[in-house]
Amino acid sequence: SKAIGGHSFRFYAPAMNERQQRLLALESELHRALERREFVLHYQPQANLATGEISGVEALLRWNHSKRGLVAPNDFIPLLEETGLIDEVGLWVLRQACQDMLQLKAEYGHAPRVSVNLSARQFSSGCLAEKVAAVLRDTRLPAEQLELEITEQMLINDLESSRSTLGALRDLGVTVAIDDFGTGYCSLAYLKRLPLHVLKIDRTFVSGLPGDLNDLAIVEAITLLAHKLDLQVIAEGVETAAQLETLRALGCDMVQGYYLSKPVPLDKLGSAAALTV
């Protein structure tokens, strides 16, 4: 503040602080983004280690901002969750991912299974299976080509409603993967009592391979456990050949990570999917 003639001018604390104003502005920008169709999906290939084929892809949301360029999901998904906009955006993601796989099928004669991330709000909404069924019906994607990713935390928030939601998804023929596995607090006992199909080992356990003996032990134990429970194992965040070979030796089923390919737009997936491991 500047003192003039003994009086000082001061600014009053605005009703909203700067952070709140920024969030409010971002929220209305996100509304507009939805209307202007500024959201896009990128796809990251998942390789099957037994066959060497790209048998899956994960759909990852990006915001193609007119000024800021491609915005990463961690910068806007929390706000979509907070404002409830995630319901609409999440449904768009599901529909777009299914449509994109059908487009690949039309072009190449076949398409990988697509894995779609769900937010906590979508998973606990109570009508998830109905929404998924409607998208499958409208797009005509076979249910076995769709996988949904949820986290341990979403499962254990309300175990009983999780069980019925998962049961309804299984009845549709859709598979479910536990994302970031090992970072949450899921009791191992739940795993065998719920209709689940895939564990995705979090990249924090993959990054220490092959040198870190603790990570090696954790990945080996998760893989053994998963296989005993009839679950498939995908390792996330595979960045080096040494990591891939270690995961292969440990019996991991599938790998995903920058070593194979970064997430790419649909039209680049054809060449990314030509990779073999």
Binding site for ligand C2E (CB under 6 A): 44, 60-61, 72-74, 77, 90, 93, 117-119, 179-180, 203, 237-239, 257-258, 263
Backbone φ, ψ for residue 116 (5° rounding): -115, 130
Backbone φ, ψ for residue 121 (5° rounding): -65, -40
What are residue 101's DSSP bridge partners? none
| Site string (214-253) toward Ca ion, x via CB under 5 A | ----------------------x-----------------
Q: Report, in Å, the least distance between residue 58 CB and ligand C2E.
A: 7
Task: Kindly provide the residue ranges of all beta strands, DSSP E only, lying in the chain, ordered along the sequence.
Answer: 3-4, 7-8, 39-48, 54-65, 69-71, 113-117, 146-151, 175-181, 198-201, 232-235, 254-256, 264-265
Going 144 to 166 to 140 to 38, the CA torsion angle's sign is negative
Residue position matching structure tokens 């309804």: 168
Q: Is 152 in the site for Ca ion (CB under 5 A)?
A: no
Q: Is 147 in the site for Ca ion (CB under 5 A)?
A: no
Q: Is 100 in the site for Ca ion (CB under 5 A)?
A: no
Q: Report, in Å, the least distance between residue 4 CB and ligand C2E.
A: 51
Among ligand C2E, Ca ion, none, partner that 72 touches (CB below 5 to 8 angstroms by kind): ligand C2E
Among Ca ion, ligand C2E, none, partner that 257 touches (CB below 5 to 8 angstroms by kind): ligand C2E
Nearer to ligand C2E, 117 or 232 (CB): 117
Q: Contact with Ca ion (CB under 5 A): which of 117, 119, 243, 246? A: 117
CA 171/CA 165 separation, integer angstroms:
10
CA 94/CA 132 separation, integer angstroms:
8
Q: Which residues here bind Ca ion, judged by CB under 5 A?
A: 117, 149, 179-180, 236
